[in-house]
Structure 1
Amino acid sequence: MKRNTLVIMVGAGAVLAGLLAWAFAPRPIAVEVATAAVGPYEQSIVEDARTRLRDRYVVTAPLAGRLARIILREGDAVAADDTVATLTPILPPMLDERTQREQNTRVEAAVAVVQRADANVQRARVGLELARAELRRTEQLARENFIAPAKVETDRLSMQAAQKELEAALQGRHAAEHELETARAALLVSRSPSAQVASFPLRSPVAGRVLKVMQPSETTVALGAPVLEIGDIAKLEIVTELLTTDAVQTRMGALVRIERWGSPVALEGRVSRIEPAAFTKISALGIEEQRVNVLIDITSAPSSWQALGDGYRVGVRIVTVAHPSVLRVPVSAVFPMPGEGMAAFVVAEGRARLVPVDIGGRNGAEAWVLGGIPAGAKVIVYPPAALRDGARVKTRSVPLAQQG
C-alpha cells in the first residue's frame, strides 16, 4: 500500500471518528431563565362577590285600604319624609276590633324598635370613643417607635369602621322613629270615623332611591302589605362567600382589590366583617363546601364607582400576606424534592446547579425565597424533565410577563 494512500485512510478515519464523537456528544439543553430580584410580594385570595346595600327599607301599608297608582319608578331619587304613595282607608276594617288591636300592637312594637335603636346609637358612640382613644394611644406609641406603623393603620381603620357604625345606627333610629309616627297616625285614623275617608300618605323613611315598586298599579292592599323598597345606593358594601379555610387566613381590615366590575381600573376596599357562622353550599361539581360571608367596605372615592348598583357581580382579591421588599423568583422555578423540601436550578458557568431553597410563600406568579438563592442569580423556569445537576445548558431570558 502506498504511503499517500495510508495517510489518506488514516486521516479519513480520524475525521469520521471526530464526526461520530461530535454527533453523539451531549448537547447543551435549551432552557429559559429568569433573574431572582428583590421587590414587593403579596399573597391573596381571589373569589367572586356581589354588591349589596348596607340597609334597605320596605315601605308597607300601615292599614288596609285603596292604594293609589304609584308614579315613582325604580331608580327615582326620594328625600327623607317624601310622600311616595297615597292610601285611602277602607271603612269596614277601620271599625273592626281586631284591626284596632293590631294597630295597637304595631305601635307598641314600633316603640320597642325605637328604644332598641337608641341603645344601638349609644353603643355605637361608645365604640367610636373607644376607637378614637385607642388610635390616639397607638399614634403616640408609634411616634416613640414602640409599635409598628401597621398597628396605627389598623386602629385608624377601626375608627373609620366605628364611625360608619354610628352613622348606620343614627339612620336606623331615624327609620324607627318614622315607623313609629306612621303606626301612630294609622291608629289615629282607625279610631277617628270622621278621618276614615281622608287619604293617608306613605312617606319615605330615609333619603335614597327607589329599588323596587311592589304595587305599581292602583289596588286594594291589606295591612302590612309591602309597597316600595328604598335604599341609599351610595352606601354599598360587597359580600363574598369564602371557604372557611380561606376565611381563617383573612383578617379584619385586610386590603382588598375589587376587580372585574366593568372597568379596567381596580377599586380598593377593606374587610369590615367576617361573619361567625358558616353555611353549607354545593359547588358546581356537586361537592359540599363550608363557606362564610365576608363583608367588604369600598374605600375608593365614590365618584369612581358611581356606576355600581345593588346586586352587581364583582371580583375581589383579598390580600392575606404583604411584604414591601423580599427576594422573589417565578413560581415555576421552584419544585419539591422528595423528602428534602423545595429546590431550584441555578445557572452557573454554563451549567445547571441544583440548590435547595427555603420558601416563605407562593402565589400564582411568584415565590418568596428565604434562602438558598442570592439576589441576581439566574434561575431556570419550567425545568425540563431531562435536566440534571451539572448539565450544560443554553439559556434564553424569559420576559417578565411570562415568568409565572
Structure 2
Amino acid sequence: MSTRTRLALGAAAAVLAAALAWALAPRPIEVEAAGITVGQFETAIEEDGKTRLRDAYTVSAPLAGLLRRISLREGDPVASGQPVAALQPAYAPLLDERSRREQQARLGAARAQVRAADAALERSDIALRRARQDEARSAGLAAGGFVAPSRLEADQLATQAAQRERDSAVAQRQIALHEVEQSRAALAATSSLATPAPSGAAAARADFIVRAPIGGRVTRVLQASEMAVSTGTPLLELGDPGRLEVVAELLTADAMAAGPGTPVRIERWGGPPLKGVVRLVEPAAFTKISALGVEEQRVRVLIDILERPPAPPGIAYRVTVRVVTLSRERVRKIPVSALFPLAGVDGASAVYAIENGRARLRRVRLGGRNDLDAWLEDGLGDAARVIVYPGASVRDGVRVRERSVAPPP
C-alpha cells in the first residue's frame, strides 16, 4: 500500500471519528428565557364584592291600620319630611252568624237595662217627692211645737237619702244607654261593610301621614297596594344612590393585611376601574362554606368609593375588588414562572440563569411576588437572563439555547 493510500485512509478515518463524535455529543437544551425588567410592582388581594347603600332607611308603619295605595315607585326622588304613605283606621272585624246573633242579644239586653233603669228612676222620683212632703209637714208641725225636733231631723235625712237614690238611678240609666250605643256600634260596623258608605264618609276617616325621614330616592317599595298592616310593617326603603360602599368578604388571614386606609381598585362593574379605600374591617368573623365544601373563616370589609363616574354602579351590583397590600415604583422584576424552591433551604428561591450558553443555578432574594412577577432584590445582575418554566432536564451547568418565539400576529 502506497503512502498516498495510507494518508487517504487515515484522513477518512479521522473524518468518520469526528462525525461520530459530533453525532453522539449532547445537544443544547432549548429553553424559553426572559430578562430583568424595571417597573411598578404590587401585591393585592382580589375578591368579589357587592355595592350597597352606605345609609339605608326602611320606612315602616308606626300604627296598625289600613294602608292606602303608595304612588311612589323605585327611583322616585323624595324630600325630607315629604309624605310617602297614609294610614286609615282599620275596619272592625267581620262577625259570623253566631257572633252577630249574640251581639243582637246583647243589644236587646242593653235596651232592657235601659227600661229597668227608667223604672228605677221613676221609683226614685216618687220616693223623693214623698220624702220632701214628709219633711215639709214635719217642719210645719215642729214650728207649732206639735212634734219633736228629732222627727224633723229624721225626715230631713230621709229626703237626702232619697235624693242620693235618684242620682244613682240617673247614673245607672246613663250606663245602660252607653251599653246600648256600644252594641249598636258593633252591629253598625258590620253592616256598613256590606253597604256602600254614604257620601263624605271616606273624608271623615282621618289619615295618619307617614313622612320620609331623609331626602334621597326610593330604592324599594315593599307594600305598594292598599292593605291592612300591623305596627312595624316595612313599607318602603329610602337612600341616596350617590353614597355607595362596597362590602367584600375576605379570608381572615388576608384581612389582617387589609387594614383601614388600604387603597383599593374596584373593577369589573361595567366601567373603568374606580379608586377606593378600606374604611372598616368588621371585628367579628363568620364561617362560610366554599363552593368546594370547605369551611372558611371570613370577615366583612367595608370599602368607600373615592370617585363618582358619570354612570355609577347601582345598588347590589357585583364588582371585583383588588386590595393593594404592597406597591413599589421602579423595582427590578423577573417572571414568577422562573422561580422554584431551592432544595435543602427552607423558604429560599432560586432561578436558572443563562451564562455563556449554560444554565447556572442562582439563589435570589425577593422582596415580594404576585401572580405574574417577582420583586428581585439581589442575586442577579441587571443584564441577566433567566429560564422560565425550567423542565426536568435543565440542570446546573447543562448547555442551553434560547428558543426563538414567533412574534404575535
> SS of the residue aligned with 1:23?
helix
Contact map agreement 1:91 1:196 (CA 8 A) in 2: no
Q: Which residue of 1 is the match for residue 136 of structure 2?
A: none
Give the drift of 1:47.
0.7
Equivalent-residue separation in structure 1 for 2:234 and 2:299 (angstroms): 30
Residue by residue over 1:134-178, the C-alpha shift from the partner in whole angstroms, topping out at 9 and shown as x without a partner, is xxxxxxxxxxxxxxxxxxxxxxxxxxxxxxxxxxxxxxxxxxxxx
| Counterpart selection for 1:213 from 203, 212, 221 | 221
* Correspondence for 2:324: 319
1:253 to 261, 264, 268: 261
The CA deviation at 1:305 is 4.8
**Residue 314 of structure 1 aligns to a residue in which SS?**
strand
- Residue 330 of structure 1 is aligned with which of 316, 330, 335? 335
Written as runs of structure 1 = structure 2, the 5 A alignment for 1:129-278 is: 197-263=205-271, 265-278=272-285
Task: Report the equivalent of 2:123.
Answer: none
Contact 1:331 1:366 in 2 (8 A): yes
In structure 2, the residue matched to 1:299 is 306
Paired with 2:295 and 2:276, the residues of 1 have a C-alpha distance of 29
Corresponding residue for residue 11 of structure 2: 11
Change (3 A) 1:398 1:209: farther
Displacement of 1:229: 1.0
Corresponding position: 1:280 with 2:282: no
Over residues 91-119 of structure 1, what are the superposed CA-to-partner deviations in whole Å (9 max), with x where a residue is unaligned?
769xxxxxxxxxxxxxxxxxxxxxxxxxx
Cα offset for 1:75? 2.0
Sequence identity percentage: 53
Q: Does 1:82 align with 2:90?
A: no
CA apart distance, 1:7: 4.4
- The Cα of 1:39 is off from its aligned counterpart by 2.2
1:18 Cα deviation after fit: 2.0
Q: Give the CA deviation at 1:198.
A: 1.3
Instruction: Pick closer, same or farther for the CA change 1:338–1:9 going to 2, 3 Å.
Output: same
Distance in 2 (alpha carbons) for counterparts of 1:38 and 1:255: 23
CA offset at residue 244 of structure 1?
Answer: 0.6
CA shift for structure 1 position 351: 2.0
* 1:237 alignment partner AA: E
Q: CA deviation at 1:4?
A: 5.6
Partner of 2:153: none
Match of residue 363, structure 1, among 363, 367, 370? 370
In the TM superposition, 1:86-125 aligns within 5 A as: 86-90=86-90
Of 82-91 and 34-43, more deviation after overlay is shown by 82-91
Bigger Cα displacement from structure 2, 4-13 vs 273-282? 4-13
Secondary structure of the 2:52 match is strand
Which of the pair has more CA radius of gyration? Answer: 2
SS in 1 for 2:11: helix
SS of aligned partner of 1:16: helix
1:274 & 1:355 partners in 2: Cα distance? Answer: 41
- One-letter identity of the residue aligned with 1:298: I
Residues 88 and 199 in structure 1, CA contact (< 8 A), matched pair in contact too: yes
Q: 1:77 deviation in Å?
A: 2.0
- CA distance in structure 1 between the partners assigned to 2:87 and 2:396 by the alignment: 85
Q: Which amino acid aligns with 1:369?
A: L
Could you state the TM-score of these two structures normalised by the residue count of structure 1?
A: 0.69
Q: What is the alpha-carbon root mean square deviation over aligned residues?
A: 2.3
Query: C-alpha deviations, 1:245-303, integer Å up to 9, x for none?
Result: 1011112111101111122x211100000111111111111111111111100112x13
In structure 1, distance between residues paired with 2:310 and 2:398: 54
Quote the Cα distance in structure 2 between the aligned partners of 1:92 and 1:295.
48
* Structure 2 CA distance for aligned equivalents of residues 397 and 253 of structure 1: 46
In the other structure, the counterpart of 1:379 is: 386
Q: Which amino acid aligns with 1:33?
A: A
Q: Match of 2:17, SS?
A: helix
Query: Does structure 2 conserve the Cα–Cα contact (< 8 Å) formed by 1:79 and 1:206?
Result: yes
Q: For 2:390, what is the secondary structure of its paired residue?
A: coil
Q: Distance in 2 between matches of 1:248 and 1:294?
A: 11
**Structure 2: runs of 5+ lacking an equivalent:** 94-202
- Report the count of equivalent residues: 297
SS in 2 for 1:251: coil
Aligned-pair CA distance for 1:353: 1.6
- Cα distance, 1:328–1:371 mapped onto 2, change above 3 Å: same
Report the TM-score when normalising by structure 2. 0.68
Q: Tell me by how many angstroms 1:220 deviates.
A: 1.5
CA–CA distance in structure 2, aligned partners of residues 31 and 87 of structure 1: 79
- Compared CA separation, residues 397 and 5, structure 1 to 2 (3 A): closer
Q: In the TM superposition, what is the alpha-carbon distance from 1:309 to its structure 2 partner? A: 1.4
1:106 aligned residue: none
AA matched with 1:220: A
Cα distance in 2 for residues equivalent to 1:294 and 1:271: 7
Q: Deviations over 1:117-144 (max 9, x none)?
A: xxxxxxxxxxxxxxxxxxxxxxxxxxxx
Deviations 1:307-335 (A, max 9, x none): x1111111111011112232211111121
User: Secondary structure at 1:198's aligned position in 2?
Assistant: coil
Q: Aligned partners of 1:27 and 1:21: how far apart in 2?
A: 12
Report the AA paired with residue 268 of structure 1.
K
CA drift of 1:89 comes to: 2.2
**Structure 1 residues not aligned, in runs of 5+:** 94-194
Find the residue that maps to 1:303 and give its secondary structure. Answer: coil
Counterpart residue type for residue 358 of structure 1: R
Which one of 316, 330, 355 corresponds to residue 348 of structure 1?
Answer: 355
Letter in 2 for 1:60: S
Secondary structure class of the residue paired with 1:13:
helix
1:384/1:377 CA distance change after superposition, 3 Å: same
Paired residues of 1:31 and 1:393 also in contact (CA < 8 A):
yes
